Each structure stands twice: as structure tokens, then as C-alpha cells.
């Protein structure tokens, strides 16, 4: 078992998949709100750093002083009776006064930053609903009527409101470069956060509340595009025709149905939701996504085939079962899935 | 001097040693109750768990060395980090610190023993059994795997069907029983058994810290007991406390857990602060600077720690105003902490420091690391910054600076400092210095870098990560640091083993310190103090002059004329001598009681009916436990009519100035029961708060479809229960006037009336049309009634035992404290269920 996993891990590393999609760092903000938090961090680092250096220097000097006192009077026994009042005053001054002044300033700065970043400065240009699942993200654009997974495409230039909840356990939504921190996704509740990308690019996010066996590989990609590119993507996405276009794709869909994929996955206009809420990601634009398994693998036909045969090899604990099937079936299925959402966007 | 005065110190030593000797042999191992035996067992066992959890941490670090390693499977990794956290918190830190307090508090306050020796032993057995069970669960692959804070709904039956989470839920509840009894024990010992003249204002800081810590345990632990009890019910009988689909709320868990969890951090931190506050003055050759401020700081931290739990929940979507309030409260901690640090610096500043020995090295490192953990604490108290770094490695780094820097380092300091007292030998200094530097360097390599790992975006609790995110090198270095820490720990182990056998021998006083624990031989004699010290000087000095004019009571206690184990009793604030108590002798019953409770708690994972069976057996054991005491060695009792527990015969002897019977608030037993009731009361209040929380969050409460409740039956039962307290109380008054017959009649009447309560409850709930598993409303109703019912049943059983004992002639005015304790419990059962009734049936409230 362990040996198999280790082998799988090395396969991943050596095959060069799982390449980096975007950054995920607090110290590289790409938007005003996380940048404000980043300055809060630097200010607090310098402020508390100086204060604690002061205290440590005091401690060091006290040790040196006390050693000298002992060296000068080696046999004097106990130190002379201390001046209690003076000592208490010193302790209160440096122990209560100094930190109190610093804390008041820091608290004010923190409250101000909080008020600044908690809500978007302008009306949102887009609303996205994100639903956490073990261990992937359902992404819905309620006003546009489309659903996708693990990748959120947003326009640059304006705030995007994000409504989050969960279909199972508690997850947490976090795209550190674009959002003022993270927000928990709690079943039965809807929480809100916002994102804002000033420059186009790919930004990484990850689930930050332990959500079970495969919490580690539950990642998220935000793709920010200029508004016109975003609109073009949206138009194309809305126009996706997922119906099989040729015999090979027909066969692929047949395999899809035969292996019961439709009980968890939706393909718009082809197979409707089997349950009220899909147990697996919607596949209508499957071929146009950049990664598989919530950023675990790059989305190419080879990886897709490997994923279908044995997803656990790449992402142990994932809810999708393994599917052993003849090569021709697999190839037809991959052809069909890889085309989904892609034909509408030539050049990708 | 009387004829007994003819006994010289050697003879007294001989006699006291015999009375206080832990029982020998294999059987004796299970019956020993001496506080130093129990305290040392706590520490050794907890230290073994520390080593185990440390090895798990090494495994975790190895898995994370490089991206996508396969050292541990995801299952094994999740179990490893869950066990690491749970074991370090519940099986190492708290039990070790309690063990340290159990061992040293009596030595520091001039007592021969803790207030309730058998309870002490019982607490240890519970701890051991719970710890071993968790260990066995891990070995068999059923270790908990959802993190040490165990959030539902991930931990509900639906998402965690295995027994893994059952073990967490059951064993944590069970373990807290141990923590709670030890806390009550420590509180009552400090309140009632300080040497005469050792006023509260003179207590050594470690004793203050142990006292405040124990009080915090009393008010914090009930939250986690209640929460895990609710989760256990959700998992085992299908209630819905945390199921949002049926009126529950997963956030309720987080509120309850962190209401315990945050005080818990300071429960672990304060004893270290106390220890360092004794070590530094000892080496600086002067009293602690700002003693009053330090003690005030400890008390303030204790109070504040109950008002900051929400800072663990900044990201759950609460209102900004509320969050800023908790941010301000959290930042306030900096002030008492800074006062502590400044007091240590001032002590050194005006002191004379000998060359740095290991206890000082660890203390100084503790101060530095505590500062570093403190400043990151201030940072993450700031709401927006927390939103970014929450649940990343920045947090992991922060709390290891507080938990390792703030708990483990001072603990090592304490071990190096007090090991000579426990073993009679110094720990080796050269190995100690190696241990110190390896551990310090390893610690900082591991955890200083983790701040950066977190800022670079790595979430915590991930079993692996993908390459190329900038975390690879940092993680590799952190693993290297962990290995260096492990090497340091290994050196420490070698030091312990070598020094225990061959270390440099030590006299009474290892360091020239000023506190009482250094006034007797090392290791101390079984009875601690031949002459109980009195009126110590303000610095709590072991003043040899205090022996100059031995008062009669001191002589009496030294001679132990009853042949029983005796402890002086003093008043709460001023420590005025009030008399003495005769303590119970070694007994196997604590062991058996713990066994029976283990059956109840562990059995319920597989067979719910084992719970009542185990509780029933435990009751039988507790009755055996409380059999009246017998002298160990009656013949050895000199010049006294007889050793028996009967005070009447002793009164005639005339020479026994010290009364062994205490009533009311003078009695340690009553204080013990008062604190047990306070624990129960905390559970009760938190339970009501939980219900209101669910009610306020619900659309309709009660939900549609709940039919008529049996209000009349409930009210009648409650009235019977309230009424039952009246004859019981009259009986108690009769007993204090030695009218035994009246006492028995009153008690019996009260019990019969009280029995009406469970009878009517059964009728009431038999007729209800909603169940505990239909909606959270039903869960609350059934659980509240179950809680009341349980207490009334215990009351009736306990009252029955008192009645039978009374019939056999064991009831008289000299033993009124036990009956008073029963009465306190009676009042709690009656008023507690009344409180619940008002919540359960709001229609009954007069103002509705």
C-alpha cells in the first residue's frame, strides 16, 4: 500500500505534472485589500519586533549586571533588601504602560484596516457562488446560469462578490492574493467574501479548514482576465454545446452512461443532475479547464485517462471510484470529455 | 512537656514513616495514595506520552520534508497530527503540570498530604486508563483523525463512520474527569491545608499558579466535557446538537470547544510562569520583584482567558463589531504577560546571579521564546491579519512558540530545578547544557521558519503539498530542526537515566532557595514534615527558628497519636489553625472505581448498555472506597485510649487539643463537594446557553409538529424534588444536635419524596410524542431531563448509603460534614433541575 503510494508520488514528480498554477502567498498581494493587510503585517512586525528587542536587551543586560554583582561580592550571600516600591513602579511602567500605548495604536490600526477591507469599495461587477465539497469546489455563476468547478474565472478591474457554503463538512475559501483573507464554508450557512484582481493572471487558493482525508489536495484556481476576454469566455461558455458531434464522441457518451458517471456528474443539455446537488464536478466545460482533481494534475488527455482509471492513485481518498475499462472505451470517453467546452473556444 | 514528649525525633520519624509508608509489593502498587507517589506517577506517565507524541511529530515532519512524499499515508498522517495534538494537550501538558502540583504543592505549603488522597489516586488511574486506551486505539488503526479540535460535521457519524472519532469523544470526556478531580484536589489542599501562618499573601508563586490553574480547569473543562458528550450522543444515539439539517448547529461545537480551548492554553502556561517565578529568585539570590503584581497578573490572565475564545473563530462569518471586541480582549493579554517578564528582568537586575545552571538556561530561553510567541499572538489577534494567516503554518509556528517555548521550556527548567528534590541527585550539568542547546537550536530552526512557510501560503493539516509553491526548502529545514530537537530530547533521556542512579547526591537544599520544599531531606520522607512549620517569615523561608518553641499542636501532629494519617487544617485566608483531619489509608477502591468507569466509557463505543453497568459497578466501588477509616497500626498508638475514628473516646484523653471533626465551611470535604457542584453548575449553565444559542438561530423553536408537553407532570415532579430537601435539611439539623433518630427519619422522608421525581419523569417522557432523534429541540429536552434524572438518581443512591450507614450507628454530630456535603448536592440537584425546568417549559415561568 505504502509502496504503491510512494511510487505514485514519484510518478507525479517525475512526470512533471502538478506544475505550479499561480502563486498562493500572503506576501505578494495583487489587490488593495490583501495589500492593506500586508502592510498591517509589516507594521506589526517592525513595531513588536522593536519592542521585543528592547525587552530582550533589557533581559540580557540584567543577566550581565547580576553576574557582575555576584562576581564583585562572591561571598555576600543574599542580595540587599530590595526597594519594593521602586521595583513595582518600574515593572508597572515598562510592563503595563509601554505595551498599553503600543497596543492602543496597533488596535486602532487593525480596526481601521478591518473596516477598510471587510467590504468591497464599489458595487460588485460579478457574483459567484462557491460550494465546498469533499474535496473540490463547485463554482456557480447564478446571474449567468452556468456551473463549473475548481476554477473561477473573473474579470479584472472590479470587485467580485463570493457567496460560499458547503455541501458536506466545513471547508474554508482562501485566495490570499485577491481576497481579504479567508472565510469558512459552513453547511447550512452562506458566508460572503470578495475578490478583486487588478492585473490579469492566475491566482492560487486552497481549502484551509481540515475537511477530511484529502484536505491537502483541495486547491482552487482563480483566472483573472480583462473584462472583454472574460465576457468572451462567458459567451462561449454559455454557448457550449455538449452534445456528441461525431461517432467517437457518441461512443464516449455511451461509455459515460454505461459506467454510471452520470449518477454524479452533470453535462448540461446531455445528462441532467442525478441528485439535487451533484456529488462530483459538473463536466459541461471539462475540456476547457486547466487542471484535474482540484489542481492535482494538468488537464491533458493522458492525465485524464489515468485519472478515470484510478483517481486514488493521484489523489487518495477522492470520492470518485476507479473505472477499469477497455482501451477503446477509455479513449472514446477521453476524446469526448476533452472536447467539452473546448470546441467553442478555438485556439485553446 | 507531657510523657509523649519523651519520644525523640528518631522515634517519631520511625513511627510517622510507618504510618505514611506506601504499601509494599505488587498489590501495594495498586493501592498507594501518597501524594508524592501519585504526583510522580502522573509526571512519569505524562512524560512517556510526551515522548510518544514527540515521535509522532517527527513522523509528521518527515512526511512533509519534501513535496509528495509517501512516508505516511494520508490516513496515517491525519491520525498522527491528531494524536500529536490531542496527546500533547490532554495526556502530556495538563497531567504533567497537575502531577508537578500534586507532588510539590504540599511540600511548598507545609502539608503532609493532599486533601483527598484516594481521589488523587483515582484521578491517576483514570488518566492512565484513558491514555492507554487512546494508545491502543492508535495501534489498532482506530486513532482519532479529525484534528485535536475535532470539528463536526466532519466528526459526525455520517462523515466519520469509524470508531476513530468515538475514541476521541469518549476518552476526552473521560480524561477530563481526571483533570477535574485533580483540580478540585489542588484547590482544596491549597485552601485548607496550608501551614499555620502561611497566608494567601505569602504563598509561593508556583502555588498561586497551581491554584489559579486549577480554578480555571474547574470552569473551562466542563465546556469540552459537555461538547464531547453532545457529540457522543449525536454519534451514538442519533441526537442533532450539531446537525444543521435538524435544528442543530456545527458552530455550537466551536463555541463550546474554544470556551474550553483558550483557557486551556493558559492552564498549561501558568504553571510554567509560576515555576520560573521561583527559579529566577532562587538563582538571583533575592526575593521575586513585584510579587503582588505577578500574582495579580496570573489572576488577570485566568479571568481574561475566558473572554477571548472567539479569536479562534474570526473566519466563521461573525459580525465585525464582535470580532474587534475579541481582538481588543486578546491583545490585553500582552499586559499581564509583560508584567511577568518585567518582574523577572527586575529580579535579575537587582540580583546576584551565580554561573548559569540548566534551570536558569531554560528559564531565560523560555522568556525569550515567550516574548516571540507573545508578539505573534498580538499580530494574530488583529482581525484582518488573522483572516490571512488563520489555519496556515504561521499559526502552527505561533502556538508552538507558546506551547513549546511557553510550556515545555519552563517544564524542563522545573525538572532540572526540582529533580534533585525528587531523586536526591542532581541532573548532570554537561548533558543538560547539550540538551539545552540542541533543543533550543532545533526548536528555532523548526518553528521560526514556519512563520515564513505560513506567510508563503502553506495551510496547516495537509499531509502533502505540490512542488513549486515556494515551500519545499522551508519544509526540509523544519524537518532538520525537528530531528535536532529529537536529538536533544534523547540527550535528556540519557541524562534522566544516568543521573537517577549515579547523579551527584544532593542535601536538603539543592540551590539555596527560600521555599519550604527545600527544608526536608531529598527525597522527602513519607510524611514530608516531621514538625509542621508555622509562622514562616514573609519570604516563606524555612526558618529554623520556627522550631524553637514547638507549640503543643505541632507536637501532637508529630506524634500522630491516632495512628492515622493526619494533616493540619487551617482557615482559608489567614491560615489560622483549625484542627486536623484524619486521612484515609491506602485502598484498592480508587483503582477499581477507575476500572468500572473505564468499562462504562469505553464499553459504550460498542454496547451502550455497558454504560449503566459500568456506572453501577463504579457506585459499588465508591461505597467501598468510603468505608470508615481504620488505623494502620493501633498498638503503636502511645498513651492514647484507642486509635478508632470515634471522637467520643478521644475526647476523654484530654491531651488532643486538635479537633478532627469539622463542620460547615471549615470542613475540607464540604469544600471538595462545593467545587464538584461548581463543575456541575458550569455544565448546567453552558447547557442552557447552548440551548438558547440553538433556539436563537432556529426559524421555529420548538419545531412544527411538537405536540403537547406534559407540563403538569413535570411541575409536580419538580415540586416533589424541592419539597424533599426540607425534611432532609431538618434531618441534618437534628444530626448536628446528635439526634440520630430524627436525622434518619428526615433523610428517609426526603429520599422517598425525591424518588417521586424519577417516577414522574418516566411517565412524562413515556407520553411525549417527540423524540431525541427527531430534531435538536427533542435532543435538548431529552438530554436536559436526562441530566436532571441522573443527578437525582445519584442523590437517591448516595442518600441511601448515608441512611444505611446511619442505621449502623455511623452517624453522629462529629461526622456531620459528610451529611452536609450530601445536602449541598441535594440543593444542587433540586435547584439545577428547577433551572432546567424553566428553560424546558417556559410556560411555567411566572412572568410569561
Q: Is B582 helix (H, G, I), strand (E, B) or coil?
A: strand
Contact B50, B58 (CB under 8 A): no
What is B525-581 written as a DSSP string? Answer: PTTS-SSPP-S--TT----GGGGTT--HHHHHHHHTTTSSEEEEEE-TTT--EEEEE
Alpha-helical segments (H) within B664-710: 668-697
Q: What is the phi-psi region of residue A141: left when phi exceeds 0, alpha when psi lies from -120 to 50, beta otherwise? A: beta
Torsion of CA B540, B544, B547, B549, to 10 degrees: -100
Interchain pair A66, B367: CB under 8 A: no
User: Residue B627's pLDDT is what?
Assistant: 81
The rounded percent of chain A whose pLDDT value lies above 70 is: 89
Task: Please name the member of A67, A98, A111 whose beta carbon is closest to the beta carbon of B353.
Answer: A67
Full 3-state SS string of B357-370: CHHHHHHHHHHHHH
Helix or strand or coil: residue B706? coil
- In chain B, the residue whose alpha carbon lies closest to the alpha carbon of A54 is B371
Among candidates A66, A92, A100 on the partner chain, residue whose Cβ is nearest the Cβ of B351:
A66
Which chain B residue's Cα is nearest to A56? B368
Q: How many CA atoms within 13 Å lie on the side-chain side of A213? A: 12
Q: Which of A30, A344, A27 is nearest to A202 (CA)?
A: A30
Whether a cis peptide bond, with omega within 30° of 0, leads into B536 is: no
The CA distance from B472 to the nearest CA of chain A, in Å, is: 13
Q: Residue A174: its chain B contacts at CB < 8 A?
A: 459
| Residue A79 near chain B (CB below 8 Å) | yes
B175 neighbors B228 (Cβ within 8 angstroms): no
Q: Do B70 and A8 touch (CB under 8 A)?
A: yes
Reading phi first (left if > 0) and then psi (alpha if -120 to 50, else beta), residue A325 is in beta
B662 class by beta-carbon count within 10 Å (0-12 exposed, 13-18 middle, 19+ buried): buried
Q: Do B70 and A95 touch (CB under 8 A)?
A: no
For residues B86 and B295, give the distance between their C-alpha atoms in angstroms, rounded to a whole number. Answer: 30
Cβ atoms of A296 and A320 within 8 Å: the answer is no
Per-residue model confidence (pLDDT) at position B106? 97
Query: Rounded distance, CA B754 to CA B61, Å?
Result: 58
**Which of B69, B250, B461 is facing A210, going by the closest CB pair?**
B461
Stretches where chain B sits below pLDDT 50 are 1-5, 537-548, 631-654
Q: How far apart are the first and last CA of chain A?
A: 38
**Nearest in space to B694 (alpha carbons), one of B617, B781, B598:** B781
For residue B290, give the H/E element and its range. none
- CB under 8 Å, gap of 24 or more: what pairs does A230-239 form? A230/A153, A230/A154, A230/A155, A230/A156, A231/A155, A233/A153, A233/A345, A234/A141, A234/A144, A234/A146, A234/A153, A236/A344, A236/A345, A237/A144, A237/A146, A237/A148, A237/A285, A237/A288, A237/A341, A237/A344, A238/A144, A238/A145, A238/A146, A239/A344
pLDDT digit string, tens, across residues B272-321: 999 999 999 999 999 999 999 999 999 999 999 999 999 999 999 999 99
Per DSSP, B639 falls in state: T
CA distances from A136 to A215, B274, B464 (A): 9, 48, 16
In chain B, what residues touch A43 (CB-CB under 8 Å)? none
Separation of alpha carbons B262 and B221, rounded Å: 11
CA dist B450 and B456 (Å) reads 9
**pLDDT for the residue A6:** 44
Closest CA–CA distance from residue B729 to any residue of chain A (Å): 50
- Would an 8 Å CB–CB cutoff place A226 in contact with chain B? no
- The beta-carbon contacts of B226-229 under 8 Å, at least 24 apart in sequence, are B226/B256, B226/B683, B226/B686, B226/B687, B226/B690, B227/B252, B227/B253, B227/B256, B227/B257, B227/B260, B228/B150, B228/B168, B228/B169, B228/B170, B228/B172, B228/B173, B229/B173
Distance CA A321, CA A313 (A): 11
Asked if A174 and B459 come within 8 Å (Cβ–Cβ), the reply is yes
Categorize the per-residue pLDDT at A345 as very low, low, confident or very high, splitting at 50, 70 and 90. very low
Are B349 and A8 a contacting pair at CB < 8 A?
Answer: no
- Whole-angstrom CA distances from B365 to B43, B88, B439 are 22, 21, 10
Q: Is B809 on the interface with A (CB under 8 A)?
A: no
- B245, A188: Cβ pair inside 8 Å? yes
Measuring CA to CA, which residue among B187, B251, B174 is closest to residue B219? B187
Check: CB of residue A243 under 8 Å from CB of residue A270: yes
pLDDT tens digit sequence for A203-229? 999 999 999 999 999 999 999 999 999
* pLDDT, tens digit (0-9, with 9 covering 90-100), for A112-158: 999 999 999 999 999 999 999 999 999 999 999 999 999 999 999 99
pLDDT at residue A76 tops 80: no
Q: Greatest CA separation found in chain A?
A: 101
Do the Cβ atoms of B179 and B95 come closer than 8 Å?
yes
Q: What local confidence, expressed as pLDDT, does residue A79 receive?
A: 53
Cβ(B626)–Cβ(B117) under 8 Å? no
As a three-state string, the secondary structure of chain A is CHHHHHHHHHHHHHCCCCCCCCECCCCCCCCHHHHHHHHHHHHHHHHHHHHHHHHHHHHHHHHHHHHHHHHHCCCCCCCCCCCHHHHHHHHHHHHHHHHHHHHHHHHHHHHHHHHHHHCCCCCCCEEEEEEEECCEEEEEECCCCEEEECEEEEECCCCEEEEEEECCCCEEEECCCCCCCEEEECCCCCEEEEECCCCCEEEEEECCCCCCCCHHHCEEEEEEECHHHHHHHHHHHHCCCCCCCCHHHHHHHHHHHHCCHHHCCCECCCECCCCCCCCCCCCCCHHHCCEECCCCEECCHHHHHHHHHCHHHHCCCCCCCCCCCCHHHHHHHHHHHHHCCCCCCCCC
Chain A residues touching residue B332 (CB < 8 angstroms):
103
What integer pLDDT is reported at residue A83 of this predicted model?
86
**Angle subtended at Cα A162 by Cα A160 and Cα A164, rounded to the nearest 5 degrees:** 175
Which of B297, B511, B312 shows the shortest CA–CA distance to B289?
B297
| pLDDT value at residue B632 | 45
The pTM of this model reads 0.93
**Whether B70 and A62 lie within 8 Å, measured CB to CB:** no
**Residue B526 touches partner A, C-beta closer than 8 Å:** no
Instruction: Give the integer Cα–Cα distance in Å for B785 and A277.
Output: 38
Which of A318, A289, A308 lies closest to A211 in space, CA to CA? A318
Q: Which residue of B has its CA nearest to A4?
A: B70
Residues 132-161 of B with CB under 8 A from A: 146-147, 151, 153-154, 159
User: Is the Cβ of B292 closer than 8 Å to some Cβ of chain A?
Assistant: yes
Tell me the C-alpha distance between A296 and A219, whole Å.
8
Q: Which of A8, A54, A69, A99 to mutate to test the interface with B (most CBs of B within 10 A)?
A: A99
Half-sphere exposure of residue B19, counting CA atoms within 13 Å on the CB side?
A: 32
B-chain residue closest to A70, CA distance: B352
- Partner B contacted by A318 (CB < 8 A): no
Chain A contacts in chain B segment 459-498 (CB below 8 A): 459-470
- Chain A residues near residue B459 by CB distance under 8 angstroms: 174, 206-208
User: Is residue B328 less than 8 Å (CB to CB) from chain A?
Assistant: yes
b/e map B176-210, b = 16+ CB within 10 Å: bbbbbbbbbbbbbbbbbbbbbbbbbebbbbbbbbb
Q: Which helix (H) or strand (E) holds B383?
A: helix B383-389
**CB-CB neighbors (< 8 A) of B285 in chain A:** 70, 77-79
A327-to-A198, A252, A254, A324, B694 alpha-carbon distances in Å: 46, 12, 14, 9, 55
Pairing relationship of beta strands A151-155 and A146-149 according to DSSP bridges: unpaired
Which candidate in A114, A135, A214, A313 is best for mutational testing of the B interface (most B CBs within 10 A)? A114
Closest listed residue to residue B532, CA positions, set B556, B514, B510: B556
Q: Which tens digit of pLDDT belongs to each residue from A284-343?
A: 999 999 999 999 999 999 999 999 999 999 999 999 999 999 999 999 999 999 999 875
Task: Round to whole Å and give the CA distance between A161 and A246.
Answer: 40
Amino acid at each position: 500500500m505504502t509502496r504503491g503510494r510512494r511510487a505514485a508520488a514519484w510518478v507525479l514528480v517525475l512526470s512533471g505534472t502538478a506544475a505550479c498554477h499561480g502563486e498562493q502567498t500572503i506576501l505578494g498581494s495583487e489587490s488593495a485589500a490583501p495589500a492593506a493587510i500586508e502592510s498591517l503585517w509589516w507594521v506589526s512586525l517592525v513595531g513588536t519586533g522593536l519592542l521585543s528587542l528592547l525587552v530582550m536587551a533589557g533581559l540580557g543586560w540584567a543577566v550581565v549586571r547580576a553576574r557582575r554583582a555576584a562576581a564583585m561580592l562572591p561571598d555576600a550571600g543574599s542580595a540587599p533588601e530590595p526597594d519594593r516600591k521602586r521595583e513595582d513602579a518600574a515593572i508597572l511602567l515598562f510592563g503595563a504602560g509601554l505595551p498599553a500605548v503600543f497596543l492602543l495604536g496597533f488596535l486602532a490600526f487593525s480596526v481601521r484596516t478591518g473596516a477598510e477591507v471587510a467590504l468591497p469599495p464599489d458595487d460588485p461587477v460579478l457574483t459567484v457562488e462557491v460550494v465546498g465539497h469533499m474535496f473540490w469546489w463547485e463554482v456557480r455563476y447564478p446571474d449567468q446560469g452556468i456551473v463549473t468547478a475548481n476554477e473561477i474565472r473573473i474579470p479584472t478591474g472590479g470587485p467580485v462578490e463570493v457567496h460560499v457554503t458547503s455541501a458536506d463538512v466545513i471547508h474554508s475559501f482562501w485566495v490570499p492574493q485577491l481576497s481579504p483573507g479567508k472565510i469558512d464554508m459552513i453547511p447550512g450557512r452562506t458566508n460572503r467574501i470578495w475578490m478583486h484582481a487588478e492585473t490579469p493572471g492566475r491566482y492560487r487558493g486552497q481549502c484551509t479548514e481540515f475537511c477530511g482525508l484529502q484536505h491537502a489536495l483541495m486547491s482552487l484556481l482563480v483566472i483573472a482576465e480583462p473584462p472583454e476576454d472574460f465576457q468572451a469566455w462567458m459567451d462561449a461558455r454559455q454557448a457550449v454545446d455538449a452534445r456528441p458531434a461525431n461517432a467517437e464522441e457518441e461512443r464516449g457518451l455511451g461509455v459515460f452512461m454505461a459506467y454510471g458517471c452520470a449518477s454524479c456528474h452533470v453535462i448540461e443539455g446531455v445528462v441532467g443532475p442525478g441528485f439535487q446537488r451533484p456529488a462530483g464536478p459538473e463536466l459541461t466545460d471539462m475540456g476547457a479547464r486547466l487542471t484535474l482533481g482540484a489542481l492535482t494534475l494538468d488537464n491533458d488527455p493522458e492525465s485524464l485517462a489515468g485519472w478515470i482509471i484510478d483517481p486514488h492513485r493521484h489523489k487518495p481518498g477522492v470520492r470518485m471510484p476507479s473505472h477499469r475499462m477497455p482501451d477503446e472505451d477509455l479513449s472514446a470517453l477521453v476524446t469526448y470529455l476533452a472536447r467539452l467546452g473546448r470546441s467553442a473556444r478555438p485556439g485553446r | 512537656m507531657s510523657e509523649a514528649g519523651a519520644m525523640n525525633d528518631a522515634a517519631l520519624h520511625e513511627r510517622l514513616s510507618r504510618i505514611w509508608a506506601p504499601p509494599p509489593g505488587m498489590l501495594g502498587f495498586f493501592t498507594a495514595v501518597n501524594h508524592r507517589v501519585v504526583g510522580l506517577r502522573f509526571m512519569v506517565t505524562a512524560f512517556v506520552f510526551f515522548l510518544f507524541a514527540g515521535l509522532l511529530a517527527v513522523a509528521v515532519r518527515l512526511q512533509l520534508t519534501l513535496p509528495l512524499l509517501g512516508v505516511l499515508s494520508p490516513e496515517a498522517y491525519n491520525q498522527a497530527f491528531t494524536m500529536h495534538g490531542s496527546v500533547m494537550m490532554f495526556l502530556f501538558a495538563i497531567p504533567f503540570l497537575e502531577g508537578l502540583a500534586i507532588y510539590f504543592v504540599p511540600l511548598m505549603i507545609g502539608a503532609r498530604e493532599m486533601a483527598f488522597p484516594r481521589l488523587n489516586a483515582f484521578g491517576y488511574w483514570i488518566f492512565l486508563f484513558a491514555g492507554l486506551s487512546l494508545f491502543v486505539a492508535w495501534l489498532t488503526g482506530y486513532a482519532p483523525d479529525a484534528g485535536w479540535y475535532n470539528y463536526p460535521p466532519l466528526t459526525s457519524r455520517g462523515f466519520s463512520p469509524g470508531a476513530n472519532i468515538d475514541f476521541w469523544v469518549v476518552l476526552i470526556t473521560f480524561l477530563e474527569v481526571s483533570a477535574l478531580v485533580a483540580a478540585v484536589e489542588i484547590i482544596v489542599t491549597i485552601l485548607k491545608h496550608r501551614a499555620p501562618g502561611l497566608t494567601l499573601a505569602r504563598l509561593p508563586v508556583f502555588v498561586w499558579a497551581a491554584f489559579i490553574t486549577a480554578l480555571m480547569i474547574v470552569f473551562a473543562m466542563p465546556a469540552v466535557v459537555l461538547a464531547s458528550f453532545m457529540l457522543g450522543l449525536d454519534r451514538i444515539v442519533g441526537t442533532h446538537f450539531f446537525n444543521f439539517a435538524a435544528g442543530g448547529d456545527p458552530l455550537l461545537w466551536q463555541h463550546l470547544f474554544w470556551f474550553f480551548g483558550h483557557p486551556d492554553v493558559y492552564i498549561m502556561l501558568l504553571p510554567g510562569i509560576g515555576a520560573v517565578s521561583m527559579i529566577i529568585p532562587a538563582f538571583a539570590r533575592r526575593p521575586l520583584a513585584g510579587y503582588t503584581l505577578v500574582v495579580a497578573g496570573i489572576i488577570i490572565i485566568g479571568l481574561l482567558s475566558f473572554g477571548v475564545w472567539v479569536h479562534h473563530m474570526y473566519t466563521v462569518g461573525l459580525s465585525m463589531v464582535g470580532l474587534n471586541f475579541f481582538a481588543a480582549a486578546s491583545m490585553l493579554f500582552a499586559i499581564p504577560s509583560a508584567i511577568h517578564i518585567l518582574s523577572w528582568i527586575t529580579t535579575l537586575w537587582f540580583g546576584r546571579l551565580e554561573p548559569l545552571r540548566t534551570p536558569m538556561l531554560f528559564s531565560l530561553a523560555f522568556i525569550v521564546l515567550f516574548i516571540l510567541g507573545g508578539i505573534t499572538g498580538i499580530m494574530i489577534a488583529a482581525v484582518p491579519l488573522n483572516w490571512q494567516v488563520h489555519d496556515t503554518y504561521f499559526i502552527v509556528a505561533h502556538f508552538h512558540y507558546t506551547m513549546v517555548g511557553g510550556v515545555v521550556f519552563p517544564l524542563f527548567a522545573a525538572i532540572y530545578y526540582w529533580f534533585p528534590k525528587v531523586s536526591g541527585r542532581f541532573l548532570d550539568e554537561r548533558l543538560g547544557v547539550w540538551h539545552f542547546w540542541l533543543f533550543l537550536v532545533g526548536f528555532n530552526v523548526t518553528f521560526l521558519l514556519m512563520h515564513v512557510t505560513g506567510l508563503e501560503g502553506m495551510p496547516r493539516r495537509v499531509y502533502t503539498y505540490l512542488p513549486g509553491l515556494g515551500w519545499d526548502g522551508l519544509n526540509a529545514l523544519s524537518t532538520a530542526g525537528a530531528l535536532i530537537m529529537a536529538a536533544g530530547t534523547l540527550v535528556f533521556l540519557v541524562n534522566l537515566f544516568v543521573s537517577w542512579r549515579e547523579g551527584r547526591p544532593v542535601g536538603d537544599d539543592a540551590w539555596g532557595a527560600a521555599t519550604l520544599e527545600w527544608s526536608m531531606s531529598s527525597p522527602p520522607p513519607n510524611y514530608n514534615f516531621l514538625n509542621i512549620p508555622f509562622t514562616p517569615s514573609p519570604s516563606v523561608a524555612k526558618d529554623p527558628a520556627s522550631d524553637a518553641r514547638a507549640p503543643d499542636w505541632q507536637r501532637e501532629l508529630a506524634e500522630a497519636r491516632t495512628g492515622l494519617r493526619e494533616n493540619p487544617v487551617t482557615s482559608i485566608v489567614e491560615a489560622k489553625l483549625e484542627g486536623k483531619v484524619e486521612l484515609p489509608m491506602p485502598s484498592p477502591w480508587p483503582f477499581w472505581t477507575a476500572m468500572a468507569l473505564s468499562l462504562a466509557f469505553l464499553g459504550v463505543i460498542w454496547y451502550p448498555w455497558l454504560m449503566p453497568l459500568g456506572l453501577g459497578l463504579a457506585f459499588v466501588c465508591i461505597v467501598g472506597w468510603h468505608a470508615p477509616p481504620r488505623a494502620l497500626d493501633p498498638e503503636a498508638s502511645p498513651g492514647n485510649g484507642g486509635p478508632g475514628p470515634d471522637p467520643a473516646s478521644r475526647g476523654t484523653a484530654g491531651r488532643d487539643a486538635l479537633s478532627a471533626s469539622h463542620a460547615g465551611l471549615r470542613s475540607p470535604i464540604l469544600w471538595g463537594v462545593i467545587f464538584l457542584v461548581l463543575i456541575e453548575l458550569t455544565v448546567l449553565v453552558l447547557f442552557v446557553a447552548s440551548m438558547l444559542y440553538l433556539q436563537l438561530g432556529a426559524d421555529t423553536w420548538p419545531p412544527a409538529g411538537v405536540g403537547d408537553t406534559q407540563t403538569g407532570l413535570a411541575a409536580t415532579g419538580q415540586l416533589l424534588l424541592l419539597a424533599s430537601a426540607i425534611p432532609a435539611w431538618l434531618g441534618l439539623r437534628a444530626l448536628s444536635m446528635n439526634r440520630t433518630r430524627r436525622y434518619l427519619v428526615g433523610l428517609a422522608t426526603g429520599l422517598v419524596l425525591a424518588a417521586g421525581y424519577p417516577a414522574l419523569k418516566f411517565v412524562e417522557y413515556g407520553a411525549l410524542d417527540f423524540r431525541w432523534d427527531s430534531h435538536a429541540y427533542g435532543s435538548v429536552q431529552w438530554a436536559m431531563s436526562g441530566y436532571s434524572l441522573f443527578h437525582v438518581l445519584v442523590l437517591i443512591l448516595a442518600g441511601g448509603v448515608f441512611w444505611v450507614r446511619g442505621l449502623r450507628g455511623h452517624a453522629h454530630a462529629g461526622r456531620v460534614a459528610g451529611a452536609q456535603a450530601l445536602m449541598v448536592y441535594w440543593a444542587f440537584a433540586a435547584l439545577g433541575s428547577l433551572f432546567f425546568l424553566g428553560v424546558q417549559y417556559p410556560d411555567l415561568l411566572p412572568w410569561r
